[in-house]
Copies of this chain bind each other. A is one copy, B any other.
Amino acid sequence: MNDMKILVVEDDRPVMNLITTTLKIHEYEYSQAANGVQAISLCSSLNPDLILLDLGLPDIDGIEVIRNVRSWSSAVIIIISARDEDSDKIEALDAGADDYLTKPFSVDEMMARIRAAGRRMQYLNTKSDESAVFVNGPLSIDFASNLVMVSGNEIHLTSNEYKLLCLLARNAGKVLTHTWIIDRIWGRGVSTDIVSLRVYMTSLRKKLKAYTGTDLIRTHIGIGYQMVRAENL
């Protein structure tokens, strides 16, 4: 039995069945909600560790559900959205969602995300957020000393590169949208283009890959970037 409580929010019966059957097979403990009101209510009574949330609910807007839950829960939120809802997806991530699945999705993919989220959860719990040292595979960041090491070799990052890396690292596993990142590096409302962000991603990646072949940063086209935990790839 996996020690993670999951709340599945989905109004489409067949999809709900597919999900719950899969969760059952993998021995996860789960509850179900078919609409937004029920989701929020169940969420507060069950306090789940992870929420699988379909954005297209019949009553409340999925984004509102995220905002509501995020205001008091630190559960990992994985949203489920149809392909042509890219803008909703971004809004959801900015509202506090952690990752997403695009319909139609494979159950393998779903399970992979859930496992990754489980590790992320555990990481957040045990590290109590403000650990002085961040470690992910060959990468380690000593926040106290402003030092970044790859495979034991110190690498030099510019101020913006370092900020970018810290954002990704402190939210490892989570998908960060372009605008979210830009807001935090250049400040809200600054006209800086996404083009600069791309250039920084290039040089950051180049430096991180100097001593290892692996690229810990994944691109989500049309959405943003994500640092993947080494054990998930």
Contacts and interface: CB of A to CB of B under 8 A. Distances in A.
Interface of A: 26, 86, 89, 99, 102, 106, 108-109, 111-113, 115-116, 119-120, 126, 132-133, 135, 137-138, 140, 142, 144-147, 149, 151-152, 154, 156, 158-159, 162, 173-175, 177, 218, 220-223, 230, 232
A156 B161 CA distance: 26
A223 B157 CA distance: 11
A152 B113 contact: no
Nearest to A150: B108
B221 A159 contact: yes
A162 B224 CA distance: 13
Nearest to A142: B116
A230 B159 contact: no
Contacts of A159: 221-223
Given A109-B135, A115-B152, A133-B116, A223 B146 contact: yes
B173 A147 contact: yes
User: Which residue, of A113, A116, A222, has the highest number of chain B Cβ atoms within 10 A?
Assistant: A116
A89 B106 CA distance: 34
A149 B220 contact: no
Contacts of A108: 135, 137-138, 140, 151-152
A220 B152 contact: no
A126 B173 contact: no
User: Which residue, of A26, A112, A156, has the highest number of chain B Cβ atoms within 10 A?
Assistant: A112
